[in-house]
Amino acid sequence: MSDATDPQNALTLLGRRVVQSIIEGSFPTLEIPDRSTENIVFDPDQRQFVLGGSRVVRNSSNIRHVKSFAQLLWTAYFAKELLKASRTSSLRDLYYSSEAFGVKFTDQSESDRVVTDLESLIGLAREDFGVFPEEHSSVYGQVTMRYTVPGYDGREVELTVSPDGLPIGPALMTAEPVRTGAEIVLAVESGGMFGRLIETRAWERFKAILVQLGGQPPRSTRRLLRRFHEVLGLPVYIFTDGDPWGMHIAQVIITGSANAAHVRGLTVPDAKWIGVTPADINNYSLPTEQMNDADLKRLDELTQDLRYTGSIWQEHIRGFRELRRKAEQQAFSRYGMDYVVDTYLPDKLH
Amino acid sequence: MSDATDPQNALTLLGRRVVQSIIEGSFPTLEIPDRSTENIVFDPDQRQFVLGGSRVVRNSSNIRHVKSFAQLLWTAYFAKELLKASRTSSLRDLYYSSEAFGVKFTDQSESDRVVTDLESLIGLAREDFGVFPEEHSSVYGQVTMRYTVPGYDGREVELTVSPDGLPIGPALMTAEPVRTGAEIVLAVESGGMFGRLIETRAWERFKAILVQLGGQPPRSTRRLLRRFHEVLGLPVYIFTDGDPWGMHIAQVIITGSANAAHVRGLTVPDAKWIGVTPADINNYSLPTEQMNDADLKRLDELTQDLRYTGSIWQEHIRGFRELRRKAEQQAFSRYGMDYVVDTYLPDKLH
């Protein structure tokens, strides 16, 4: 790892800069890339959202900045302690730990925001310094992963070891894909579909690594998808509910979220949304529900969204607008337990 | 398995009874144990909540019963199909599958309720006929489990195989505990605490199987706790947040929930709630938050609850009432990352 991308080094450099200012007798100042929506642009080279050049200054000589300056430095200290001890922490734990140091956060959403400040300041993801959300999604398939966490370093695990799948926690997220018998990655929205594809041995039939997203997936899951794609060279297909929310889960995996525009290595620009598309709803005569106001409002928002300018996406949006109806992945159960595996997926993955 | 506890047999017998009535030229009738709160009593022998003798009748000759009668029979049919094919289904999938047969449920809460009707009618849990909720909690520790699901039948898995823990899904829930190096089971509420206890190797130090509850745990988790206790002979300790909700998570594991009073094999009457108790909040000077109206209301409800008549529970309720404050498990982070492992847990497990 180069200096800039090694988290310990990045944090040490940050500390040195602050100390250096103090030694020189001046108030330390930090410049954080501005994460407001006005500073988010689509980078056609990286094919993802990135932050523009605008910066926010935290000046420790400004009384209104002192609190957030101190919070940021304490968070950097806490991150360094985690790395030194090879520990991880949940965002919630970090919030509570601050009490011990007399660093006051109003609530967890404030400490979460300061963690994001630190991310954009040193250009690394919180997972790089051991901070994770509590929720996980799961993975199953013919891949061997090699753990890098203490106590398991170098140990290999087959992702078929548990027929319930393995959670994508801190250990699996940082593990190295070693080898695979799979030819594609199939990410599915619901836990029910994930379970069905495991027990019907669809993973064998489609030579697929299965990833359960569980709604809008945590970053750890998006990062693992990216690594399967990059390291193992596998194409990624996304199978979600047939509604604006399901479509947007796919979009975020493909081109990134505004919230994580300062983080690299989370997107899979070549991933494909296979459905449930509005065309599928018609072609497979799926049972549907009427869209509610929130669905229609979301559709309006996506129409204005830069990420949806491509003609395929425009067609999907048009399709949903005309239908004004939506269908879940489970809707295929109408045709029997195995229809999705025997008919729909072979059609769409062809 | 005896006839009455084998799910396939139980469903076949149910079908035969209905067919027999029709052959005899009479309208079939089903008697379902009444699950209303008036019919729930505490059984001191089983040390758990059970249903009393009251019954609800579904008479197919009554026009107002025809719909729910048909829904119930279809659900029994679906369950039998699952068992025949060795498949599992999520509650959501079951709801959607009904569409294929023209069986109409207003929404999933209606089909969930009919699944519960079927459970109490045949005296088995939905998991026995392959129907599971989508959410899982996790487990980690020195236990060998032997799977019984198709494709994995007889295969063994160590519950230390993944440092992120294993999800307690359909396969693990039905697996057999084979052997263990552990001496206790430690169930913890939050995912953050679960992760911390794994990475600090607290499971080794306390010779503990760790179970993450994730709030009020799904039945699959409660059943696994019971099996660790029964099959491996291990005592069960429960570590939750210090508030009425955390206390009640422990209570439900110990004496059962009203909702599942018709199901056996979910409770661990000898399990102990180790904290965070109101006394702990004082003794460890934990950072607290004020209880809100919902917390205080919940405390009032628990005061009236039969399950809290024991003197220890009364003392906890009194403690919370006096404090009018609550603390999360993470509150120990105030004293540093490892305090909970180095000090609190050794104190409480002693």
* B140-195: pLDDT as tens digits: 999 999 999 989 999 999 999 999 999 999 899 889 999 999 999 999 999 889 99
End-to-end CA distance of chain A: 40
Give the tokens for residue A307. 């990420």
Please confirm whether the linkage preceding A18 is cis (ω < 30° from 0): no
Closest to B98 measured CA to CA, from B113, B77, B119: B77
B-chain CB neighbours of A95 within 8 Å are 330
Three-state DSSP at B346 gives helix
> A180 near A327, Cβ under 8 Å?
no
pLDDT at B334 over 50: yes
Nearest CB partner across the interface for B330, out of A92, A151, A196: A92
pTM for this one? 0.90
- For the record, the structure tokens of A227 come out as 């690594």
B113 or B3, which is more confident: B113
Using the predicted structure, report yes or no on whether residue A99 has a pLDDT greater than 80. Answer: no
Sign of the Cα pseudo-torsion (A265, A269, A275, A276, in order) = positive
Q: In degrees rounded to 5, what are phi and psi of residue B207?
A: 45, 55
Encode burial over A171-200: b for 16+ CB neighbours within 10 A, e otherwise.
bbbbbebeebebebbbbbbbbbbbbbbbbb
Nearest alpha carbon to residue A147 among A179, A185, A182, A173? A173
CA–CA distance, A288 with A241 (Å, rounded to integer) = 11
Across A197-211, B48-62, B88-102, B326-340, the highest mean pLDDT is recorded for: A197-211
Decide if A167 and B166 are in contact by the 8 Å CB cutoff.
Answer: yes
CA A117-A169-A274 angle, 5° bins: 90
Q: Which helix (H) or strand (E) holds B246?
A: helix B244-255
Which residues 6+ apart lie within 8 Å of A300 measured at CB? none
Q: Give the residue from chain B lying closest to A98, CA to CA.
A: B334
B9 touches chain A (CB under 8 A): no
Residue A3, pLDDT score: 56
Chosen for mutation from B106, B147, B162 (greatest number of chain A CBs closer than 10 Å) is B162
A96: annotated active-site residue = yes
Give the residue from chain A lying closest to B145, CA to CA: A162
Q: Taking a C-beta distance cutoff of 8 angstroms, is the pair A194, A238 a contact?
A: no
Asked if B90 lies within 8 A of A190 by C-beta distance, the reply is yes
Place of tokens 């399967």: A228
Calculate the average pLDDT of chain B: 92
| Mean predicted confidence (pLDDT) in A143-153 | 94
User: pLDDT at position B2, please?
Assistant: 46
Task: Tell me the nearest-neighbour CA distance from B250 into chain A, angstroms.
Answer: 21
3-state secondary structure of B88: coil
- Would you state the structure tokens that stand for residue A194, as one six-digit string? 């994930």
| Average pLDDT rounded to a whole number, residues A5-22 | 93
Residues pairing with A57 in the sheet: A31
**Beta-bridge partners for A290:** A325
Nearest to A180 by CA among A253, A235, A250, A254: A235
Nearest to A9, CA basis, from A124, A97, A88: A124
Residue type, B285: S
DSSP, collapsed to helix, strand or coil, labels residue A42 as strand
B93 to chain A, any CB pair closer than 8 A? The answer is yes
Alpha-carbon gap, residue A185 to A249, rounded angstroms: 16
User: What average pLDDT does this structure show over A88-99?
Assistant: 86
Beta strands in B217-343, from DSSP E residues, in sequence order: 236-239, 272-275, 289-290, 325-326
Q: Which of A249, A257, A253, A258 is nearest to A268 (CA)?
A: A253
Reduced to 3 states (helix: H, G, I; strand: E, B; else coil), residue B284 is: coil
Write the CB contacts of B218 (distance below 8 Å, at least 6 apart in sequence).
B133, B135, B136, B137, B168
d(CA B60, CA B29): 6
From CA B226, how far away is CA A280, in angstroms rounded?
A: 45
pLDDT of residue B145: 98
**What is residue B225's predicted lDDT score, i.e. its pLDDT?**
97
Residue B4: pLDDT band by 50, 70, 90 thresholds? low
Chain B residues within 8 A of A138 when measuring between CB atoms: 167
User: What proportion of chain A, given as a percentage, has pLDDT over 70?
Assistant: 99
What pLDDT does residue B1 have? 42
Tell me the two tokens of residue A173.
Answer: 């997220």
Assembly ipTM: 0.87
A100 has pLDDT over 50:
yes
List of chain A residues whose C-beta atoms are within 8 Å of the C-beta of residue B169: 162-165, 195
With contact defined as beta carbons under 8 Å apart, do A253 and A268 qualify?
Answer: yes
The better pLDDT of the pair A100, B208 is held by B208
Q: How far is B34 from chain A (nearest CA, A)?
A: 30
Using one digit for the tens of pLDDT, what is the confidence trace for A77-90? 999 999 998 888 98
Answer yes or no: are the C-beta atoms of A236 and A230 closer than 8 Å. Answer: no
How many beta-carbon pairs below 8 A join chains A and B? 172
- DSSP category for residue A151: T
Interface of A with B in 113-132 (CB under 8 A): 132
pLDDT at A154: 95
Find the DSSP H helices in chain A: 7-23, 66-84, 91-97, 108-122, 170-173, 191-199, 202-205, 219-232, 244-255, 278-283, 293-304, 311-323, 339, 345-349
- What is the DSSP-derived secondary structure letter of residue A127? G
Taking the CA of residue A25 and the nearest CA in chain B, the distance in Å comes to 32
Q: Give the pLDDT confidence score for residue B3 in this predicted structure.
A: 57
Higher-pLDDT residue of A32, B264: A32
Instruction: Identify the weakest region by mean pLDDT among A14-18, A190-194, A316-320, B269-273.
Output: A190-194
- Per the structure block, which two tokens stand in for A8? 């310990």
- Residue A2: pLDDT band with limits 50, 70, 90: very low
Q: Categorize the per-residue pLDDT at A1 as very low, low, confident or very high, splitting at 50, 70 and 90.
A: very low
CB < 8 Å from A in window 250-309 of B: 287
pLDDT tens sequence across B205-232: 999 999 999 888 989 899 999 999 999 9
Q: Which domains does chain B have, with CATH numbers?
A: 3-132 (1.10.10.10), 138-349 (3.40.1360.10)
Interchain CB contact of A135 with B (< 8 Å): yes
Average pLDDT score over residue span A164-179: 93
Pairing outcome for strands B272-275 and B289-290: unpaired
Residue B305 pLDDT grade (very low, low, confident, very high; cuts 50, 70, 90): confident
CB-based contacts of A192, cutoff 8 Å, min separation 6: A329, A330, B89, B90, B92, B93, B134
Q: A215: Cβ–Cβ under 8 A, 6 or more apart, which residues?
A: A189, A245, A249
A207-210: long-range contacts, CB 8 A cutoff, minimum separation 24: A207/A142, A207/A181, A207/A182, A207/A183, A208/A141, A208/A182, A208/A183, A208/A184, A209/A139, A209/A140, A209/A141, A209/A142, A209/A143, A209/A159, A209/A180, A209/A182, A209/A184, A209/A185, A209/A234, A210/A139, A210/A140, A210/A141, A210/A165, A210/A186
- For chain A, give the mean pLDDT: 92
Nearest-neighbour CA in chain A from B127: distance (Å): 14
d(CA B284, CA B289): 15
Mean pLDDT of B294-310: 92
Q: What is the DSSP string of B150-192?
A: TTTTT-EEETTSSTT-EE--HHHHTPEEEEES-SEEEEES-HH
